[in-house]
Every structure is written in C-alpha cells, then in structure tokens.
A and B are shown apart, each in its own frame.
Chain A
C-alpha cells in the first residue's frame, strides 16, 4: 500500500495516490454497455500485468489518450465484447481480470488497421497479441483443432487454419 501522497502512474498522468483510492472511473466493464462504478486503487492495480503487457507488446500503453480511433477503424469492433480503446484503458489501470476476461483479443483479426491509424503511434495489434498470449500461455485454447468439422478443414485454405490455430491456441 502506497502512502497517500505517493504519485502513481496511471493513464499517462501522475495522480496522487489518494485520488486512486476513490472510485473515480465509470468504465463499461466486460462490454455490458452500461455504466457501473468501479474502484481503482493501489489494491486493484496489477502492476505486474501492466509490465508484462508492455514487455510482450513492446508498446508504451500509457501513450493512449482514449480517442477511440482504433475501435472506429477496427473491422471486428461490431462484434467485440469490449472496444479496443477500453482494453487499452483497462490495461493502463492494471485491470487484469477485466482485460484477460474479455473475448476482445480473441475476436481480433490481427489486421493492423488500428495500429495504422492510432494517432499516438501505438501498435495496438501487438497489445492484442500480448493480451492473448497471457491467457493462451496458461494452457488455454480458444479453438479446438480436433473439433473443426472435416468439411471445413477440406474447404478452408491452409493459411486460414494455420493462422487461426497460431493465434487462438496455446
């Protein structure tokens, strides 16, 4: 627990620790599309998660200023549980369960449209990959290759199977 006056780095700004002990944000958690107050405090911020996402992606996630350009450009955002911008915000706030619990990174098609359009130069496709891998590396599979119908396997080009299994299995 930090002393009340110690600065805490979150969302690219430096807040006094006390500000973070009060419920300060209204975020749509898990894409429920309704506002519910959440508490963000030194207790809830998973610094290790922030560290891992930053390392794996090689991106400074605190550069994100929440403009939403990524989700606006994303071809899959209509079907995403949580918009990419929210994933970024929750990652900045170390909300590991919410980020990893969202299906968003597994709905991502790695098309790099967000990365090409982000005004802050964040390669969001890499952040999505980092988030995906942190789940997959716990031996989780989001698709079971042996359950794909034989008909589909016959039909699909190899690159579809290889890329899907590469992105969605451990």
Chain B
C-alpha cells in the first residue's frame, strides 16, 4: 500500500525520533510510506486574520504537490503540521473568494479546491491499518504499562479539524490499548503546553507545563505520549528545570507515540531512536526489559 507522507521541518532535525519510529513501523506493517516530493515548511501556525492570505500559500502549495503527485490522502505526524495543513485545506474547500485569490496568486501551480484529504497518523492507524491488525502484529506488548495520552491543542482544536469529534479523546487511548498498555485518563490531556510562548514568556509556559505533568503523574501514569515536537520540547526537555524549581515532584518519561509503536512491534533501537529522548526515558523502558539501547547516546 502506497501512502503519501508529509514530514515537515522539525522531523528532519530535532524530532528524528518521531519520524524514524513511524517510518520503520510502517515498513514493518507493509505500508509504503512515500515522502512527498518538493514539500516546503507548512508555516507552523494557521493565520487567523481575515486579510492575511499570504501565509496560507505555503501549506496550500504542499497540498497542491500532493495532488499533482497523485495522492488523495496526505498523512502527517507532527500535530502542528497537521493543524496547519488541515485548516488551509478547509479554507480552500469552503471559502470561494479566498480560494480564488490564492489560486490566482499561485498561477504557476494547478488550481486547488481541497481535493486532498489531510490525515493524522493516529487516524491512519485506526482507519487504514486498524486496531485489530495492529494488535495482531504486536511482538512486545506494553504489558499493562500505564500510559497517559497528551493531545495538546492542535489535534483537537478547532473542532472542524479535530482528529476526533468533540468529547472523543479516544484514538490515543485505543492506540495504547492495541499495543497492550493501560491508557490513563488525566484532566490536562488537552490543556495547551504554552506552545511557542516557551520562547517569549517562559514563566507562563513553565507554569502550565508543570500543571500538565503533575496532572498525568497524579492520575497514575508511568509514561506520557504525544505527537508534537513543540509539546515534546516543553513537556520533556523542561522537566529537569521544573524538578529543580519544585514545580513538579518527579520526572515522567515522555515518548512520541510512534516510539512506543516501534517498540511494541519488536523493532530495535535504530527504529525507536530513544537515544534522542531525555535522560530517564531509556532507563524506564530498559527496566521493563524492552530492547531499547544501542551504542552511544547522541
């Protein structure tokens, strides 16, 4: 099965672990993940101002590329790319006037009307691979590991691009369940991690990051999974700082959901790429006897 895949910038640099784990897992499941050719940055955020059309050009161009390369679907991994592409797609489907302006502006490209479907990898696993197939391919069950699903903002807001209908919040839990883990519900699973404000207003972001980690830990989670490199930076890389400032009582291992997928499928360290995670996350899985360690840590 050939599937068109849009990685986005961060997966090629800071979040190789999100990408490598997904690509290896798909190969193991017999899905031919084909990276879109000549893709560009999606712009990371959707422009909210009515007169700001220029910032929609980047994501729309990616969708045009997908259409021109014969894809009906484009699968994304990064939550922010998903949100930006899906919202630009909706705009091109629903707003006749803006669609015309954008198409006219991009006169060198094929006209686009929202022909391509933007699909997040979690929904691809659910709808195309299927939980039953996935369950049958698990070689190293998570064995009841208590895992909290962190959705953050961009997978669930706004409602018209949410990967599940409002009140859903199930797909990541179903994913954990298929891998043999025990999903842990926690109050902050869709609370914003502070996003890019970690750069401009770090105090405000750190406050909410602390609340999210505490919420997951106190709900009994042993680990937390997510699908966004910015959430990962905030929720994983900032934990040491939060422990020393007393905002959280203990560290909580954080993984990209694709990493637990690779591990459960029995793939080795080259696939799960835990060498790129924070200290403590490899140790946690090693203590549970998963084969997660390669040579040197990066």
Contacts and interface: CB of A to CB of B under 8 A. Distances in A.
Interface of A: 55-58, 75-76, 78-80, 106-107, 109-113, 115-116, 123, 125-126, 129-130, 133, 142-143, 148, 152, 155-164, 166-168
B90 interface: no
B10 interface: yes
A55 B207 contact: no
Nearest to A168: B200
B195 A110 contact: yes
Interface centre among B10, B14, B196, B203, by most chain A C-beta atoms within 10 angstroms, is B196
A111 B198 contact: no
B60 to A, nearest CB: 16
B197 A107 contact: yes
Given A110-B45, A116-B158, A155-B237, A55 B13 contact: no
B10 A79 contact: no
Given A163-B230, A164-B196, A167-B196, 19 more contacts: A56-B51, A57-B48, A76-B204, A78-B207, A107-B197, A113-B157, A113-B192, A126-B48, A158-B13, A159-B44, A159-B78, A159-B81, A160-B196, A160-B198, A160-B233, A162-B45, A163-B195, A163-B196, A167-B45
Given A56-B50, A163-B45, A166-B44, A76 B13 contact: no
A79 B207 contact: yes
A61 B171 CA distance: 35
B157 A115 contact: yes
Chain A binding surface, main DSSP class: helix
Contacts of B49: 56-57, 126, 129-130, 133
Contacts of A166: 43-45, 55
B14 to A, nearest CB: 4
A58 B51 CA distance: 10
Interface string B1-30: 000000011100111000000000000000
A99 B205 CA distance: 22
A160 B199 contact: yes
Given A107-B197, A113-B192, A160 B50 contact: no
B157 A111 contact: yes
A137 to B, nearest CB: 10
B199 A75 contact: no
Contacts of A78: 204, 207
Contacts of A168: 200
Interface residues of B, number: 45
Contact of A109 (B10, B52, B192): B192
Given A75-B208, A79-B207, A107-B201, A58 B192 contact: no
Nearest to A59: B50
A159 B193 CA distance: 14
A106 B201 CA distance: 9
Contacts of B78: 159
B200 A143 contact: yes
Given A109-B195, A111-B153, A159-B44, A164 B208 contact: no
Interface string B34-65: 00000001011101111110010000000000
A167 B51 CA distance: 15
Contacts of A162: 9, 41, 43-45
Nearest to A76: B204
Contacts of A161: 196, 199
A152 B47 CA distance: 25
B12 to A, nearest CB: 9
B159 interface: yes
B155 to A, nearest CB: 12
A147 to B, nearest CB: 11
A126 B49 CA distance: 7
Given A113-B192, A162-B43, A156 B233 contact: yes
A80 B191 CA distance: 17
Contacts of B153: 111-113
Contacts of B205: 109
Contacts of A158: 9-10, 13-14, 41, 44
